[in-house]
Amino acid sequence: MQALVMCFTFLVVFNTLAQPSNDNCVNALEVCANQTFSLTNSGANASVCMNCEDDFNFCFDDQNSIWMTFTTNATGGNVQIDFSNLVFVLNPGQDTELQATIIQATTPCDGSTYTQIGNCISNAVGNFSLTAVGLPPLTQYYIVVDGDDNGIGITTSAECSFDMVLSGPGIDRIVPTVSISPSNGNYCLYETVTFNAATTDCPNTSDYQWYINGVLVATTVISVFQTTALTDGDIVSVQTSCYLLCSEIVFDVGLANTVISFPVDAGTDETISPGSSINLSGSTTAGIFVWTPAQTLSDPNSLSPSATPTSTTTYTLSATQFGCTINDQVTITLESDLFIPTTFSPNNDNINEIWLIEGMEDYPNASVKVFSRWGQEIFESTGYSLIKAWNGTSKRGQVLASGVYYYVIELKDSEEQILKGSVTVIR
């Protein structure tokens, strides 16, 4: 007896490899309305112990069942399940009839609580339908399908692949929608514009995909999209999907947007020496304009003021027309007034004994750091002068060997300039 049990267990494990995933009630395939599901009961078996999932006898006894489940909508009503494209496995002694019905279970998958709903099919060889009338709303039902094994010379239950479609007012879903707002508007060039997507009858929304003129530009988790990239005539649209099961894609397309723009050009970037001046070369068709910052300009209300920056400065030309302000920028860079030696020789001959950086007095908050070739910091100073200059020793006062060392200088000026390079110690 013990050997027989072990053999039976082996056979079950072996057959499971080929079983459909919805071979049992617990793993019933959830199906929805107006979608075609291609299914098969090939390789399925039955659990027919007392009160097990396949413990029923309606118009047929279960042999090799597969299970599906559906839930009626919020109104309930009639449901029809159409089976088509039946293709049977043809082996000697194998039946070629399909059996099916709809079941309601007071306790899910407990055979003792089953009630047959609608008609019952026991010998289908071609297309057939199951129907149920007046189903209550928001109620779960099961569809069970298996193969017959009756008839003279029949030794094997029928195995069949088929298509199945659910329909009817009791299962149909309200068509979901999404709408974009505002659908269009009047904006300024580079203005931040916010669009919202509102859905109706759309549970379990996915991410929102946003398009400008049909080109995907953003994907958002929430139903809000912001952009500063609109130009005149651009059309914004949105797409998302509703329902986790049998998802439906919904989309909405807005109207053409009006974007006000006019030319504003602050000119090209330039480099000048400290103490020098340069005329900015701005241009615009707008009647109102101003430069900022104004402190180092001869006339901030002129398109071509004289600029005398004391440090590298970015000037902004702001022009206003038709209620819109558009900006453009130009950077005037001051040539460095620092002289950073690439070598020095701390060898006690009183010549070139320290690493003296000329011009550092203009940057009292500057940070100077020196590193070995392995990245170890060996010198650090806030502010750099004759007294604070590096003399070729480590933080502990140890004399460092000849060789190449690396520096990082943060000037801590308005432009937050950072200078990097190497210096060679010669002994």
CATH code of 139's domain: 2.60.120.380
Give Cα separations from 210 to 65, 179, 203, 249, 307 (angstroms).
45, 12, 19, 13, 44
Q: Looking at the domain assignment, is residue 172 inside a domain?
A: no
Same structural domain, 329 and 349: no
H-helix or E-strand spanning residue 16? helix 2-16
- Summarised one tens digit per residue, pLDDT across range 140-164 is 999 999 999 888 888 999 999 999 9
pLDDT reported for residue 8: 28
Instruction: State the chain's mean pLDDT as an integer.
Output: 91
First to last CA, the chain: 95
Please tell me the number of Cα atoms within 13 Å of 393 on its side-chain side. 11
Q: Looking at the domain assignment, is residue 414 inside a domain?
A: yes
* pTM reported for the whole predicted model: 0.62
Q: Looking at the domain assignment, is residue 326 inside a domain?
A: yes
Same structural domain, 7 and 155: yes
Same structural domain, 304 and 195: no
CATH code of 409's domain: 2.60.40
- Note whether 374 and 310 are within 8 A (CB): no
Of 213, 243, 260, the last residue of a domain is 260
- Summarised one tens digit per residue, pLDDT across range 344-403 is 999 999 999 999 999 898 889 999 999 999 999 999 999 999 999 999 999 999 999 999
**What is the per-residue DSSP string for 328-385?**
EEEEEEEPP--B--SEE--SSSSSS-SB--BTGGG-TT-EEEEE-TTS-EEEEEES--
- Summarised one tens digit per residue, pLDDT across range 188-218 is 999 999 999 999 999 878 899 999 999 999 9
Same structural domain, 60 and 209: no
DSSP E strands: which ranges in 125-159? 128-135, 140-147
Structural domain count, the chain: 4
Burial 388-420 (b: 16+ CB within 10 A, else e): ebbebeeeeeeebeeeebebebbbeeeeebeee
Q: Looking at the domain assignment, is residue 40 inside a domain?
A: yes
Give the residues across from 288 on adjacent strands.
Answer: 320
Same structural domain, 382 and 252: no
Q: Looking at the domain assignment, is residue 368 inside a domain?
A: yes
Of 139, 167, 195, the last residue of a domain is 167
Average pLDDT over residues 90-103: 95
Same structural domain, 220 and 268: no
By three-state DSSP, how is residue 33 classified?
Answer: strand
pLDDT reported for residue 13: 30
Give residue 195's domain range: 177-260
Nearest to 62 by CA among 81, 76, 48, 78: 48
Q: Per-residue pLDDT for 312 more than 90?
A: no
Q: Per-residue pLDDT for 404 more than 70?
A: yes
Of 240, 260, 280, the last residue of a domain is 260
Same structural domain, 276 and 356: no
pLDDT band at 6 (very low <50, low <70, confident <90, very high): very low
Tokens describing residue 44:
């399925």
pLDDT reported for residue 362: 83
Give Cα separations from 198 to 3, 202, 238, 278, 361 (angstroms).
65, 10, 10, 54, 61
Give the residues across from 10 on adjacent strands.
Answer: none
pLDDT reported for residue 12: 29
C-alpha to C-alpha distance for 196 and 193, rounded to whole angstroms: 10
pLDDT reported for residue 17: 39
pLDDT reported for residue 18: 61
pLDDT band at 51 (very low <50, low <70, confident <90, very high): confident
Same structural domain, 243 and 351: no
Average pLDDT over residues 316-341: 91
C-alpha to C-alpha distance for 319 and 173, rounded to whole angstroms: 54
